[in-house]
Structure 1
């Protein structure tokens, strides 16, 4: 399949006509491994939540309290990497491999410096963040410690995003997907030994002591960080020495960022960063709205968000494929092919996430049940997932259309659209409904807003103002 996708991508660069069947085949071939990569990252969060959830409601609430802030920093790292990887997709689409490698070298220096700045900011605010978010005094210490460890390992996470993004934009979806699965496995192994204390096991009458550090929430953070470090190292080495289009071995070049490259990266990445701030800022405000509802509501809200991610992450995988296909098609100056890939990927995302929404509604009790043994949390989590299931197709439209716009370097207007939708629709409704309906009101507001957001993104996609003059 990898050779076939390479041949199809070469048809884009070489200006050869592509049938609808070939376009669909290429879209599927790039989307499937990208979906696996996205799902693996969410499975890792699911594993953390389930393992920590077995310790009790307070430990779950501690991670849930700062989860939206970790996603904010995570999103900023993604935006920084995307600012450079989209440029690489355009260069590869134009057949300029040397120029693509030059951008890659510059991106390593720029994003590493950016992630070090984020790490210092995160470490500085970690001690006061739980109090800012209105968390109960009983969970503030664990929440603060979890966020501190997350912040200190941000440079490794940044290199992970950069290397994976560069490979995906070159058309290699398989290696990031494979390493995503490896990271999940490593996360389970590290968490198993770091979260739980030493305990006696009995297997078929044979008793032995299973060693463990017993670090609880701290162990969950360290286990995830260790998995990220290992995978980032492997991805960077592969990108550096094995990537057909981007390997740097044997080629000399400067790692000093060039002003023109930085300007283009800012043009692409800055609106994306603002968009992540808008979305995660709204999630943080949602956390503030949920926090007074109690520890059970905080934990259920966090678990439901993590569980829902299993449903919408396929959309982000297809969006990654859309960014690559649109970026390379525009780089090759093929306007009609760009339009075709845009419509095809958005439709595919809506179908896939619509099906996932049905499964999420039907199996909500089992999904939440795997994450926590606490009945009060389970009931609230199931309610939230079943409300959100109705929004999944329109949520997919906004996710994949955004990936299309990123590939076309059109990120400012979608950022403003997200800002209006989330802050004017979701938060307003949540603030109105939460006092009377509790957590149910918060998730009703989220469902309504996602449907509205999907509608306005479909309208922008149809009008085609995002297609630049090529």
Structure 2
């Protein structure tokens, strides 16, 4: 239902629906950045080289997992449409097919990452002690990839069914287990950065198993098959391909940012890890609203309700921008205190503070971008998002290149060089890249071609 102009205030029922989905989704989404934050806080006590190695390795791991986020996004949209059309059995069948795809893909990627870890970190510019630390983390965390991807697919199915509470409780339990395992294995057992990777892998496998049981039970109750169906798995892969390309452009930008940070020196790279971890936490928090938009848009389009779709678009954009403002203020206010939780190195602290202040400035833009992404994903507009992603990557690359070429040399001043360079790098990423995405998605949302109705 749209806003009622006679009342002069937003439709409270729509707000309640948005928050009922977004608040639990927030808890589930925050789990992955919390894993990285906990890993960073624990590993940071081992020294600058381990923290820098974790910065590079976690970027690679999150890139691999992030490229597979289509397992959640495509499944959410498809399941929500079927639910809106009244086909619960068909909705759960789509969810199970997505989970089979996730299990197979996760196994292949785990093996590949173990075998190629040294080449990957070297190609990204790792040098000296940082190389060994990054390789150790990647190899010990890789076995958790099947669990990570199962979490994505199962969570997507549950979101499409308008259930964001089950992923919340699973993620909350996983965050606690991960923190305990990291402290026990890294500091208690003395395994170093390898213990951090192992703890994360064990946690992700356990989370994947829990969510698999939940979805399978629901499918059996609805009379849906839980056996692997080649046609359904292939259809899921085909539907997710455009979103894979869209995500590839985003992850390429993140990798490019990490490569430039590596070239700025160990202090800047370690500081970038702190800023990236905080940005990831806030970005996933904003994405909770995007998930609500995905589920609500998919269901309303499946029910042939264009008016409700427009209402969701407008209201979630208001929520996203406002939340971005609040988060930006919070990050800016804590920019001097947060780095101290990760490192005692003054050069790293200085660089991280500068990066956090820049990131905070652009968070309202990020709120707008994330919500529009969610709306278009929920509508199944993956092809446009794929094309727009490549265009925005092309717009960002020159800005990142300029930082790499003209940023002050960190060797010229241990604190000044890394601090200034990292600040300009985040102007390029959080400013230029996010602005390009805001324009691309905003132009699409103004029209109506993305509002295709029906199951």
Task: Provide the TM-score with structure 2 as the length reference.
Answer: 0.90
Q: What's 1:223 paired with?
A: 199
CA contact (8 A) 2:30 2:285 kept: yes
Aligned pairs (5 A) from 1:61-72: 61-72=52-63
Q: What's 1:144 paired with?
A: 135
Aligned pairs (5 A) from 1:290-305: 290-305=261-276
Q: What's 1:433 paired with?
A: 403
Paired with 1:258 and 1:128, the residues of 2 have a C-alpha distance of 34
Offset, 1:252: 6.2
Offset, 1:46: 0.7
Paired with 1:394 and 1:282, the residues of 2 have a C-alpha distance of 17
Aligned pairs (5 A) from 1:258-273: 258-259=230-231, 262-263=234-235, 265-273=236-244
1:367 to 338, 355, 364: 338
1:105-137 CA distances to partner (integer Å, 9 max, x unpaired)?
Answer: 322322221222222222221121111111112
Q: 3-state SS of the aligned residue for 2:118? A: coil
Q: What's 2:82 paired with?
A: 91
Q: What's 1:5 paired with?
A: none
Paired with 2:257 and 2:14, the residues of 1 have a C-alpha distance of 40
Q: Is the aligned partner of 1:46 residue 2:37?
A: yes
Aligned pairs (5 A) from 1:409-424: 409-424=380-395
Paired with 2:451 and 2:140, the residues of 1 have a C-alpha distance of 42
Paired with 1:80 and 1:431, the residues of 2 have a C-alpha distance of 32
Bigger drift between 103-112 and 52-61 goes to: 103-112
Aligned length: 432
Q: What's 2:97 paired with?
A: 106
Paired with 2:105 and 2:282, the residues of 1 have a C-alpha distance of 31
Offset, 1:439: 2.1
Q: 3-state SS of the aligned residue for 1:465? A: coil
Paired with 1:218 and 1:121, the residues of 2 have a C-alpha distance of 18
Q: Is the aligned partner of 1:310 residue 2:288?
A: no
CA contact (8 A) 1:290 1:297 kept: yes
Q: 1:306 to 1:187 in 2, by over 3 A?
A: same
Offset, 1:260: 6.2
Q: What's 2:220 paired with?
A: 248
Q: 1:81 to 1:25 in 2, by over 3 A?
A: closer
Q: CA RMSD in A?
A: 1.9
Paired with 1:250 and 1:417, the residues of 2 have a C-alpha distance of 38
Task: Provide the TM-score with structure 1 as the length reference.
Answer: 0.87
Paired with 2:144 and 2:232, the residues of 1 have a C-alpha distance of 29
Unaligned runs of 5+ in 1: 1-7, 9-18, 197-211
Q: What's 2:307 paired with?
A: 336
Q: 1:287 to 1:410 in 2, by over 3 A?
A: same
1:145-181 CA distances to partner (integer Å, 9 max, x unpaired)?
Answer: 2112232221111111122221121111111112111
Unaligned runs of 5+ in 2: 2-9, 408-420
